[in-house]
């Protein structure tokens, strides 16, 4: 058994060791500069570095680090006032497996998600929990097969997420790595790249029971958008035509929820289908981004955001989705050929000349700059519909043929 120590002195560490307990120490920037004994690694079962002990994101990552190493924590102590918030968060995590903080970690940390999938018996990509440039340079074997996806353990969207096909490309990734400013936790994980079609699913829950489910399919996997910016969107997969897929996906979510104990609200998940098998990628306790809610509303008449807020506020009304009339709805992010300052964007009046275009949402205006630095750089999202998947694909091409955003 180990004692988890925060802001402890060398004397305190020595006493713990004399009592024949192992020590796990979480140290911040001040500790590393001022506590010389931290350099003596023989004192510790594990030493974890964070920048700020008041960062929930970094503490959550430290918690997962300890879980990944299968270290049993007997007690948590803080030797000074400055470690009390960290003490409280970590004590909650280790002693209350159904806490809100634990739920946040299980739906935010990629490593924790994979452990949940594994326990639930849900197929997922093979992965290596945490890998660094130091690991690479010292020859630590991750044991995975290339190509790999490298991503921050608590990343969002596709920030700092890349496919690497060889060890040389992995080395280049680390050499060029500059974390996005939104990412506090500076750790990355590796997983084997799944060559398949990528889907997303949004579910409304009430007291652990799914009330409404909508599945969508990305035109191409999100990580490939940089190679084909004109396919940045998704479309509804109709329940009437894909009942078996819906049944499978709902059953998988119920298995996952038996472990994470998500009560009431909305979840957004992503999965791949490869050779007829479903491989789950991620799950989040939020609704889908971009214009997924508007796509769902056009298909089923369900305002996902409003219904979610009703559930959260206790306004339990029966959710009654309309029949989809077998029409597919899509959202598509219209972008220019080149990055730069936007000079001209088509107007809504121009878009609405096509009756199958149902709505348009502007995220940028003329004079703004588009950089193409990540797939979630929204510019002009179009909601449109079609009678078949083939017609949807044709209409994506038609949109780009008729409408042009000009940059300089």
Domain holding 367: CATH number? 3.30.470.20
Predicted TM-score (pTM) above 0.85: yes
Separation of alpha carbons 370 and 287, rounded Å: 25
Query: Which residue range is the domain that position 271 belongs to?
Result: 197-407
Q: Are residues 238 and 182 in the same domain?
A: no
Q: Are residues 91 and 228 in the same domain?
A: no
Domain assignment of residue 153, yes or no: yes
Count up the domains in the chain and report the number.
3
Query: DSSP 3-state assignment of 282?
Result: strand
Domain assignment of residue 114, yes or no: no
Domain assignment of residue 108, yes or no: no
Query: DSSP 3-state assignment of 162?
Result: strand
Q: Where are the beta strands (DSSP E) in 276-366?
A: 277-284, 328-334, 340-344, 357-362
Q: Are residues 138 and 254 in the same domain?
A: no
> Which is it for the CA torsion 393, 398, 399, 401, positive or negative?
positive
Contacts of 297 (CB under 8 A, 6+ apart): 303, 304
Instruction: Give the closest residue to 225 by CA, choosing from 53, 372, 402.
Output: 372
Q: Are residues 268 and 397 in the same domain?
A: yes
Q: Are residues 354 and 286 in the same domain?
A: yes
Q: Walk along the chain (408 residues) and give the pLDDT tens digit of each residue.
A: 899 999 999 999 999 999 999 999 999 999 999 999 999 999 999 999 999 999 999 999 999 999 999 999 999 999 988 899 999 999 999 987 777 888 889 999 999 999 999 999 999 999 999 999 999 999 999 999 999 999 999 887 788 999 999 999 999 999 999 988 878 888 999 999 999 999 999 999 999 999 999 999 999 999 999 889 999 999 999 998 999 999 999 999 999 999 998 888 999 999 999 999 999 999 999 999 999 999 999 999 999 999 998 888 787 777 877 766 678 999 999 999 999 999 999 999 999 999 999 999 999 999 999 999 888 999 999 999 999 999 999 999 999 999 999 999
CA dist 21 → 5, 6, 16, 38, 192 (Å): 12, 15, 6, 17, 38
Domain assignment of residue 208, yes or no: yes
């Amino acid at each position: 058994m180990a004692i988890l120590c925060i802001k402890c002195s060398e004397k305190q560490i020595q006493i713990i060791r004399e009592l024949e307990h192992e020590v796990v120490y979480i140290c911040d920037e001040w500790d590393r500069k001022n506590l010389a004994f931290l350099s003596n690694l023989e004192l510790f079962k594990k030493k974890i570095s964070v920048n700020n002990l008041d960062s929930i994101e970094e503490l959550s990552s430290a918690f997962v680090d300890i879980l990944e190493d299968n270290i049993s924590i007997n007690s948590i102590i803080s030797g000074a006032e400055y470690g009390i918030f960290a003490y409280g968060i970590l004590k909650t995590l280790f002693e209350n497996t159904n806490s809100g903080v634990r739920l946040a970690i299980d739906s935010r940390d990629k490593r924790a998600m994979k452990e949940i999938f594994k326990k639930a018996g849900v197929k997922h990509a093979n992965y290596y929990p945490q890998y660094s440039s130091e690991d690479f340079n010292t020859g630590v074997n991750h044991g995975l097969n290339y190509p790999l996806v490298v991503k921050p353990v608590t990343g969002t969207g596709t920030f700092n997420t890349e496919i690497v096909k060889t060890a040389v490309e992995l080395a280049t990734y680390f050499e060029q790595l500059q974390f996005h400013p939104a990412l506090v936790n500076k750790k990355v994980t590796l997983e084997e790249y799944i060559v398949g079609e990528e889907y997303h699913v949004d579910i409304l829950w009430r007291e652990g029971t799914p009330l409404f489910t909508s599945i969508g399919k990305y035109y191409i996997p999100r990580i490939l958008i940089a190679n084909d910016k004109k396919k940045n969107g998704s479309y509804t997969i109709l329940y009437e035509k894909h009942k078996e897929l819906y049944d499978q996906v709902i059953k998988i979510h119920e298995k996952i929820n038996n472990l994470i104990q998500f009560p009431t609200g909305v979840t957004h998940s992503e999965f791949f289908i490869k050779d007829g098998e479903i491989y789950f990628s991620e799950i989040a306790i939020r609704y889908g981004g971009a214009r997924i809610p508007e796509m769902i509303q056009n298909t089923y008449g369900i305002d996902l955001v409003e219904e979610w807020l009703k559930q959260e506020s206790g306004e339990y009304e029966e959710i009654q989705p309309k029949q989809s009339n077998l029409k597919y709805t899509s959202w598509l992010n219209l972008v220019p050929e080149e990055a730069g300052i936007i000079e001209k964007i088509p107007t809504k009046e121009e878009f609405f000349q096509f009756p199958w275009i149902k709505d348009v949402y502007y995220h940028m205006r003329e004079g703004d700059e588009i950089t193409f630095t990540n797939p979630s750089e929204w510019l002009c999202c179009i909601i449109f519909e079609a009678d078949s998947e083939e017609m949807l694909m044709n209409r994506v091409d038609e949109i780009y043929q008729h409408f042009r955003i000009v940059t300089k």
